[in-house]
Chain A
């Protein structure tokens, strides 16, 4: 089956010392290609953990994640690493390299694809323009504001035209104009057939109506809204 499918996912953190914390349990869902899924839930509900599982950054305690029918969550590290080249992710805390410039941060995912530096820069500038970051291309990432950092992280996630895009609070710290730009970029990814999963608190994402499917995480379980 095309897209991302989760089957009875269960994630438990920290068994030693102290009690284990069940973050997710029995999460079964289908995230289709060309659709944008919105995941909401209270702080600590496990939204970020779910995105990390979908992106192959975490391994589930039980259950599996299937990408286009393949059980990627159970693959060995080398195979998962290769598969992750098809995944773009926006972390909640952006996770940029503060010593590098904005443009350098953005083109990082393209480096292993053996393209010329000029081509990489051109691709990076194109995405930065879509997110109104052209003027900041040469600025150090460590000097950016929260909103700029988050947009740079989104630019880095989409520059490689990923098949699967996970975005954790992508509209955080954005003014209305920039939030609209962010949603436009997400919609463009959906339009070219990518699986887009957005975890958000921001009511603007819900109000904008960009989501094709809305899920809510509560007590570790995913419920369709």
Chain B
């Protein structure tokens, strides 16, 4: 394991976040087993106090995990490539982690989705004195903590196993200049034009859907929150493919460079951070809206504040889609205006 300050920062933050989350999870388990809001017995009063403390700990754990993820991405994209021979961006670094790096990022995404849903529930729960969403929030937290543990474990494994002696063939993975162009024509067997079309059409529909939810009189009811969650997660995948396969070319100003990680480099003005940040926001808010709506519907009691949070979630999804689309599409339009043609004809 290399003792780089960034590696220590990620491991330290992960450890801190996990401690906070595990502390909160212990109380969440007790909440699931013993929560009795109708009782004023000593055990219930003590549990209410612990639940309040645990909520603060879990909130802290969420932010620390988010910070660790940001530091990790900064490291993968801008710090660790200098240490791994042959690595020019995050692709080479992930190659040097022998698969656990990509898995760690996947688990991190999963943990953040679940924790963001928990945070949304808890924010609404905290606004009402009776805390009617305590049990579903505890359930969600217990679901998120194992995923966060897997994320931290894989991150540690990836950083500990980072091979800084063996050269990697970074660009061979994504920018194979010797590959015949006809083989580089699409992702998942679909042509690039279709991905761009799906991205544009899906983005428009998602904005319309998010704004519909943002204006709904009772956004927790009906199928719209579920549809929004599914649509945002689906669109995030489509948008990422469209970006890497087609739109990134206008930032790189070169063809067939299907790399998401180079967008995070300073020569491309770190545009990957806002681009993938917007995608992350759309996924987190979209899925969080569904989790909150489901909890509200199942609890069967009026939950003041839930409607406004759901509407805010809808607005944030719309904003995230708009910001991503703007950042991704403007370089293409600028290219077309300057040169009169699209890259690749």
Q: Is the CB of A63 within 8 A of B40?
A: yes
Q: Does B41 contact A (CB under 8 A)?
A: yes
B190 interfacial by beta-carbon distance below 8 Å: no
Q: A70-B129, A76-B129, A78-B126 are in contact. Are A8 and B45 (CB under 8 A)?
A: no
SS class, residues of chain A in contact with chain B: mixed
Q: Which residues of B contact A71 (CB under 8 A)?
A: 40, 129
Q: Which of the candidate stretches A54-62, A120-128, A192-200, A203-211 sits at the interface with the other chain?
A: A54-62
Q: Judging by beta carbons under 8 Å apart, are A59 and B49 in contact? A: yes
- Neighbouring A residues of B131 by C-beta, 8 Å: 76
Least Cβ–Cβ distance between B8 and chain A, in angstroms:
35
- Min Cβ gap B219→A in Å is 24
Q: Which chain B residue shows the least CB distance to A60?
A: B45
Which of chain A's residues 59-95 have a Cβ closer than 8 Å to chain B?
A: 59-64, 70-72, 74-79
With A59-B45, A61-B45, A70-B129 already in contact, the answer to whether A76 and B52 are too (CB < 8 A) is yes
Min Cβ gap A78→B in Å is 7
Q: Is the CB of A7 within 8 A of B40?
A: yes
Q: Does B48 contact A (CB under 8 A)?
A: yes
Of chain B, the residue at the smallest CB distance from A82 is: B129
Say whether B301 faces chain A, with CB atoms less than 8 Å apart. Answer: no
Q: Which residue of B lies closest to A65 (CB)?
A: B40
Flag whether B188 is at the interface (Cβ < 8 A): no
**Majority SS at the chain B contact face:** helix
Are the CB atoms of A79 and B40 closer together than 8 Å?
no
- B42 on the interface (CB 8 Å rule)? yes
A71 and B46 CA atoms in complex are apart in Å by: 15
**What B residues does A78 contact at CB under 8 A?**
126
Q: Is there a chain B Cβ closer than 8 Å to A33's Cβ? A: no
Decide: A64 near B40, CB < 8 A? Known: A74-B48, A76-B52: yes
Interface size on A, residues (CB 8 A): 18
Interface string of B121-155 (1 = CB under 8 A from A): 00000100101000000000000000000000000
Q: Contact check, B126 vs A62: say whether CB atoms are below 8 A apart.
A: no
Task: Decide yes or no whether A149 CB sits under 8 A from chain B.
Answer: no
A10 at interface, CB cutoff 8 A: yes
Cα distance, A61 to B44, chains bound together (Å): 9
Q: Looking across the interface, which residue of chain B has its beta carbon closest to that of A72?
A: B129
Cβ-closest chain A residue relative to B128: A79
Q: Contacts A7-B40, A74-B40, A77-B52 given: A62-B129 contact, CB under 8 Å?
A: no
Rounded to whole angstroms, the CA-CA distance of A61 and B45 in the bound complex is: 7
Contact A61 B42 (CB under 8 A): yes
Instruction: Indicate with 1 or 0, residue by residue over B206-241, a CB within 8 angstroms of chain A CB atoms.
Output: 000000000000000000000000000000000000
B126 partner residues in chain A, CB cutoff 8 A = 76, 78
| CB-based contact B45/A62 at 8 Å | yes
A76 to B132, CA, bound (A): 12
Task: Encode contact with A along B42-84: 1 for CB under 8 Å, 0 otherwise.
Answer: 1001101100100000000000000000000000000000000
Given A59-B45, A62-B45, A77-B52, A8:B40 Cβ within 8 A: yes
A79 and B45 form a contact (CB under 8 A): no
CB-CB contacts of B23-53 with A at 8 A, as 1s and 0s? 0000000000000000011100110110010
Given A7-B40, A62-B41, A74-B40, 19 more A-B residue pairs with CB atoms under 8 Å apart are A10-B42, A59-B45, A60-B45, A61-B42, A61-B45, A62-B40, A62-B42, A62-B45, A63-B40, A63-B45, A64-B40, A70-B129, A71-B129, A74-B45, A75-B129, A76-B52, A76-B129, A77-B52, A78-B126
Chain A residues within 8 Å of B, Cβ to Cβ: 7-8, 10, 59-64, 70-72, 74-79
Q: Which 8 A-B pairs have the closest CB atoms?
A: A62-B42, A75-B129, A79-B129, A64-B40, A63-B40, A61-B42, A76-B52, A62-B41
